[in-house]
Amino acid sequence: MSALSPETIAIVKSTAPVIQQHGVAITSRMYERLFVDPKIKTLFDEAAQQSGEQPRRLAGALLAFASNVDNLDVLTAAIERIAARHVSMNVKAEHYPAVANALLPAIKDVLGDAADERVLNAWGEAYWFLADVLKRREHGLYAQEGYSGPE
Ligand code: HEM
């Protein structure tokens, strides 16, 4: 995994205020796009019954990421919690592209012209950076459970 470039870090960080303002709209739109795929929707069904808070939690994670993209150490505890939750829901590496394909267009849907190509490219890179961190941690957790994941 290559580190994020200083330019990508600066662009993503500069979007923190709009993520703060529109984060829940973005993640709500993202779930609408994501749940078109019934295999993905099934993963969330049980969780959705437990809580209606998914868009809010994901928006919080995106905002924390955007705000701290230049100081990722502060996200260690959050990453650990998300990875544990993902493993409990059987999230696998192969699911990450679907979320990217739902999240990036959702950012565009909600932010419109404010999400120009520069912003979308930076978020695309940042998404895959974070996804790689999560996938690696989740792989380790599955291995501890005696399950050797798809990677
Ligand atoms: C970089 C990508 C991702 C981020 C930042 C992220 C973030 C989060 C966060 C913050 C939570 C709530 C954790 C908590 O309980 O506090 C969560 C839960 C969950 N995530 Fe992800 N996630 C990502 C990718 C994925 C992918 C690829 C899938 C599978 C399609 C997925 C499925 C789930 C499910 C099923 C839950 C449990 C439902 C819930 O508690 O809201 N996530 N994720």
List the chain domain ranges: 6-144
Check whether 4 has a pLDDT greater than 70. yes
pLDDT tens readout for residues 75-105: 999 999 999 999 999 999 999 999 999 999 9
Tell which atom from ligand 1 comes closest to the C-alpha of 131.
1
User: Are the CB atoms for 78 and 64 separated by under 8 Å?
Assistant: yes
pLDDT score at 19: 96
Pick the CATH number of 6-144 from 1.10.10.10, 1.10.490.10, 1.10.3720.10, 3.90.226.10: 1.10.490.10
Catalytic residue check, 138: yes
Predicted model pTM:
0.92
Catalytic residue check, 142: no
Q: Is residue 111 helix, strand or coil?
A: helix
With residue 59 as reference, give the H or E element that holds it: helix 54-67
Confidence of residue 29 (pLDDT cuts 50, 70, 90): very high
Distance 134 CA to ligand 1 centre (A): 10
Quick one: DSSP state of residue 2? P
Residue 68 tokens, joined: 């701290």
Distance 114 CA to ligand 1 centre (A): 26
